[in-house]
Structure 1
C-alpha cells in the first residue's frame, strides 16, 4: 500500500507540473510577449465592452509600440492624460542620457523614471491585470514584454462628504461616511493622528471583489479579538458584498438575536470614539 501511495503522489505531482506548463504555454495565466495578443485577450475577457478604453501609441523617441488600457469613468481622466499618456508619448529619453535608454531597458525606464504618478507596480499574470483594470488603474503594455505596468489613476464620479441622513446630530461634526473606502479611511485618520492606528484590507466576493478594510489601534485593541475578526472575514465565502449588512450577518455569532451584537454607524466621529475605547 505504501508503494502505491508513493507512486500515486508522484503521478499527481507530474500531472500538476504538466498542467502548469500547459497553462503557461497557452497564456491563460501569464501575459503574452506579443502586444496584439495581450490586447485581444483583454477584449475577449471584457466582451468588447465599449467603456474599456485601449489606447495604442508609440513610445516617444524609441519607436516602440505600447498600449494604455483603462475603464472610462473609473479613472481620473486628467491623471491619465497628464501623468501617463503625456509622459510616455513625448521623448522619454529627455533628461536622460540617450545611451541609457534602449529597447532592452525601456520597461524599467518607464516604470522608474517616466511615469509621474504616485503608485506604480509590475503585473505578470492575467488575474492581477484584470483586477487592476477593473479597480480603476491604468495598465501599460509594451511590445516584447510579458509584463505590464499598473499605475494608480483611480477617480471618476463619487458622492461628496455629507451629513449622515440616518444619524442626525444637533451638536458635533456633520460629515458622514460615503461609498468610497478611501474617503472613509481618511475621515477616521483625520481624527486619530496616531501611527498605532493600523489598517488592513482584503477583497471579499468571488464576483464583486469588494474592498473591505478594518481598522484598530495597536496596543488598545485586544490582539485575540483582532485575529478573530480577521479570521471570520477571511472565512466569508460569498459571490458578492454590496453593503455592510452582508458582513454583519456573516461574522456575528447570533445573527437572529433581537439584541444588537454588532454596532454600525455612518458617523466617523462615533467610529473614532469606539476605536479609542
Structure 2
C-alpha cells in the first residue's frame, strides 16, 4: 500500500520493481522491460503502461538509452552507475521533457501520465521521458448513450484500449485491474477494475468468485457474463448496468462500484446496481 510519506526510491532495482507491481496491484497493463548492459553488467529496467504510450516513441526512447552499450564503445565513464546515469541524462535521452525522479510520488505521477520510467540498479533515482500517446478511439458519440455534456468518447472492441480510456481519466495508483480468461473454447479475456480502498473488499471477492465459477464454452460479449452472474434472474430490474462511455465507468468506480470489461465488446458492466441507480442513469 502507498505510504503517506512517499519515501525515496531504493538503490535496489529488484526492490523497486517489486514496489511498483505491489502498488499497482500487479495490473496486467504495466510493462517492465529489463536489460543487462554488456559493458558493465549493470541491470536497467524500462517501465510503462500499455495503452498510455506511443509504442514507437517508447522503442525510440529505449534505443537511445541502449545505444552506447556495445563491447567496443565507451570509456570508464559509462561503466559505473554514476557514469551511466549521467550519460543517459545528458546525451542518450533525446525524446524531450526528461525529468529526474527522486521519490515514489513523482514516479507514479509520471507513469500514470504516459511517461516511460528508466531505473538503474544501484541508483536511488529514476529518469522519466515523455512517451505519452497510445490508442485513443476517434472522438465519436456513443451510439446508445448520447451525452449532452461531457466526453464523446466511447469504448471499442479492444479490452486494452478500453482499460486505457478509463486509466486516462483516473490517474491513481489505487486503480487496480485483475484479469482472467473465461470460456473453455474461446478463452476470452475478462478484466475487473476497481479503486482499491473505495470498493468494498467483500463485494470484490464475491464478484471474483462468481466470475471464476462460470463454466461455459464461449464468451463472445458482456451479455453472456451479465446473464450468468445475475443474482435475481426473475427480477424485472437489472442487477448489472452496462455502458459504452468511459466517463460513466470512471464516475461509478469513484463511487465504489466495480467495472467488468470483456474483450470483443464495447459494453462494460457495472456492479453492483440498485433499483434507484437504474432510474438515476436513465
Shorter-chain TM range is 0.3 to 0.5
Which is helix-richer, 1 or 2? 1
Q: Answer with 1 or 2: which has the greater Rg.
A: 1
Q: Which has the higher contact order (CA 8 A, sep 6+)?
A: 2
